[in-house]
Structure 1
Amino acid sequence: MANNLTSEPTSAAPVLVVGAGLAGLITARTLHKAGVPVQLLEARDRVGGRTLAVPALPGSPEEEWLDLGATWGWAHHPFLMRLFKELAIDPVEQPSTGATAYETTDTVHRLPHPSGSAGYLRLVGGAAILCRTLAAGLPAGAVQLNTRVTQLRHLANGSGVELQAVQGRSAQTYFARAVVLALPPRLVAHSIAFVPALAAPLQQALRSVPTWMSHAMKSIVVYAEPFWRQQGWSGFGVSQLGPLSEIHDASPLVGNTGALFGFFGAPHPLRTASVTDRQAAVVRQLVRMFGPQAGAPLAYHELDWSLDPLTSVPGDEQPPLAVPLQGPELLRQPAWAGTLHWAGAETSASEWGRLDGAVESGYYAAAQVLRQPASGA
């Protein structure tokens, strides 16, 4: 079944953006504001990509949702700060007052210096509020969920790109003047076929870039209140024992609920255990580090990003040996005679992998598309 936004590849075809994470949404929004017809295709049943917030407790208002994905920005991130202003969203500094808990193999040390998360910026409702706000500003129908792209074909004579996708059980065909792939490069190489095949150096660039957060597993434990603050703890902790290697105060920025979140060590044997066993181990650790009140949680949330097939590929569960400062130069250049472009935090020339990098890459990709002549013109 063909789902053509135009009946054939012409200069009137839209730009297709694949991936409704922060980079894809910035790309689509920028193109839309420039008057370019744009359609955004997302394999998930939600927008947001690696930003994901969940209710702290059943029925919690959106303002009290907690991040299971990307969380922080910093004041020195220019593109993220620009976006905050454009969307009239005000960041709030991560709670960090109090002592640091440092757990060694024999005891928990109380370090009086400022928390290691001082100056981190969070958003009320979680970082995913950025993506929900961006999506709400696009025209009705511009975002198409549950649509997984399987193949791109470069059409002859400058006619653009034919895109094959699966929506539910239906095969879909789209024609576009240009395509922007706003996905982790490794995921692109693993899951999308290209006709003709991409040049070997470009294929290698896609495969070689580590995926930000792909090895990460986050756990959040919710409490009636942030009791640790009354005891002079910041909620920031580091542990040599685990299972959480690093812990932060994740309490909602409004309301009275408390929450602590941490990163599971990678690899860690408990990552293949049951949720019940992981929760019990996490709570025992928090009791060791913050006292008996940590033994009475109201809720537990977790997400292993290495198991998300729309983020990670086999092998991504291992942390990278090195984190790049910038994405590959080949992923800053269009391919297929200017009809194929790249976006995403892994392609950024600013804050690689972070929210700021995703935003920068979206602005960059959109500007690149706008500089290209329309296909078929």
Structure 2
Amino acid sequence: MTDPDDAAAAPTPREPGRVRTAVVVGAGLAGLTAATGLAARGIDVTVLEARTRVGGRTRGLPVAPGCQVDAGAAYLGERHTELLALVKELGLDTTPTTMRGASRFVLGPEGTTRDGRFPPLNAVALGELFDLLDELTAAVRPDAPWLTPDAERLDTLTAAEWADRRLTHPDARLFFPLFLGEMMAADPADVSVLHMAFYLRSGGGVRYLNAFEGGAQQDRITGGAHQVCERLAGRLGSRVRLGEAVRAVHQDDAGVTVHATAGAHRADVAVLALPPLLADAVEHRPAPAVPRAGDRTARGCAVKATLVYPAPLWRAHGLSGWSVNAEGPLLSTVDDSPADGGVGVLTGFVTGAEARRFGALSPRRQRAAVVEQAARIFPMLPPPTGLHITDWVDEPYSQGCYAALRGPGDWLRYGPTLTAPHGRVHWAGTETSTEYFGLMEGAVRSGHRVVAEILARD
């Protein structure tokens, strides 16, 4: 009997060619974009996903009956054209990220409230910080950061060392790690200056990445970003196999064999849509000449704390829900309430070194720390009626979020082979995209790139 899902997703006939079958490893945005693109061009595709769900680093979190919010990747802007096209094609919509009202800042012993998002710190010092970051991002080559002028020095120096040398005002030193945590989920000690500059340039520049209205955080996908993957997987039907962790990929002259939990899968090509640390954990025969990661490659350090209230109660106090805090666990918060306002949701971000400290706590202590800090940031609010903590740092099939962090020496060593196929194995994932690296847009673009590469093999 024919699976109705398979019938609905039947591939368009194509001329016989060298590539007729493919195995895609990973059912996140990159893997499913690649898989549906290949299937639409007549290639017989099997998708293997280690988790019991699709979505990768997108994940829906139920917070009320019939209401889910993003526990993982969430935001997008007008420049994210490939993702927006996919959202439209799948019949989804977007919701503006609400930022109306004053912000809360706890950068010292006392919290303060002020209009806008600019913190109550020395404006000249922060202006100089952003000028220095703009100077770095303008110099980097986004298409090939390893070819940036002075790349060797920039890839040797950590962002923490750069800050120690270049930032003299205490307010700039205070704000820099908070900013880097928000933008990259990075501890400055974990990333090279070259990676920091590339990440900011790849994402559209400091001001675009940091902006809500008109920027990279302008909108959310109504009902949650996880729906993109769910609808793409729906097109593939039973060709998506969950609970299939891949252990090994073996190649020979005739094809590739992907060894997974439930058995082996033979195909002409394989696509590994995995973060670099996970891609290296797979046994490859033959082994790539250059691995995907090294000793200084770190996990993106992000934990999301989702605080649920009966309604967006902070708005009645003239607040936007946005906060920035010098001490953790919550280094920032944002209003992620559904558009209908039926429930209030504050998303708290635990990033950088604070995420590692927080992850070492017991669940009981984590919850107590979040509730206690939320009461200090927003003393006018009652305790949340619900609290959900999503730890991406220790998630075994993500190895961090937003993306892997490239440490000293990584770009010079691994950059030149970032997207080069290893025989019959192709690489996808936001970490393989030099456009919008670390964002959902980068993942989608990497999927499109892999489809083009495989079709070009014919």
State the TM bucket, normalised to the shorter chain: 0.7 to 0.9
1:93 aligns with 2:96: yes
TM-score, scaled to structure 2: 0.70
Change (3 A) 1:329 1:74: farther
Counterpart in 1 of 2:243? 146
Residue in structure 2 matching 1:165, options 247, 252, 260 = 260
Counterpart in 2 of 1:33? 40
Contact 1:164–1:174 (8 Å) recurs in 2 = yes
3-state SS, counterpart of residue 333 of structure 2: strand
Range that drifts further, 82-91 or 113-122? 113-122
Counterpart in 1 of 2:286? 196
Change (3 A) 1:240 1:263: same
1:186 aligns with 2:272: no
2: CA distance between counterparts of 1:348 and 1:317?
Answer: 11
Counterpart in 1 of 2:223? 125
Residue in structure 2 matching 1:285, options 373, 376, 379 = 373
1:174 aligns with 2:265: yes
Larger fraction in helix: 2
Task: State the shift of 1:349 in Å.
Answer: 2.1
2: CA distance between counterparts of 1:240 and 1:291?
Answer: 17
Counterpart in 2 of 1:369? 454
Counterpart in 2 of 1:276? 364
1:233 aligns with 2:240: no
2: CA distance between counterparts of 1:248 and 1:148?
Answer: 35
Counterpart in 2 of 1:352? 437
Matches within 5 A, 1:257-336: 257-268=343-354, 269-295=357-383, 297-312=384-399, 328-336=415-423
3-state SS, counterpart of residue 147 of structure 1: coil
Range that drifts further, 117-126 or 32-41? 117-126
Contact 1:56–1:65 (8 Å) recurs in 2 = yes
Contact 1:98–1:114 (8 Å) recurs in 2 = no
1: CA distance between counterparts of 2:316 and 2:36?
Answer: 44
Q: CA RMSD in A?
A: 2.5
1:49 aligns with 2:139: no
Cα deviation, 1:241-296, whole Å, max 9, x if unaligned, reads 2220011112123351001111124333343222222222212222222224242x
1: CA distance between counterparts of 2:320 and 2:229?
Answer: 29
Counterpart in 1 of 2:133? none
Task: State the shift of 1:317 in Å.
Answer: 11
Contact 2:19–2:457 (8 Å) recurs in 1 = no
Q: Which residue identity does 1:51 align to in structure 2?
A: T
Task: State the shift of 1:53 in Å.
Answer: 1.2
1: CA distance between counterparts of 2:370 and 2:231?
Answer: 33
Change (3 A) 1:270 1:264: same
3-state SS, counterpart of residue 393 of structure 2: helix
Q: Which runs of 5+ in 2 are unaligned?
A: 1-16, 119-209
1: CA distance between counterparts of 2:223 and 2:296?
Answer: 30
Task: State the shift of 1:152 in Å.
Answer: 1.0
Count of paired positions:
341
TM-score, scaled to structure 1: 0.84
Q: Which residue identity does 2:266 align to in structure 1?
A: F
Change (3 A) 1:222 1:352: same
Contact 2:18–2:457 (8 Å) recurs in 1 = no
Q: Which runs of 5+ in 1 are unaligned?
A: 1-9
Contact 2:106–2:325 (8 Å) recurs in 1 = yes
Counterpart in 2 of 1:247? 333
Report percent identity of matched pairs.
33
Contact 1:286–1:294 (8 Å) recurs in 2 = no
Counterpart in 2 of 1:5? none
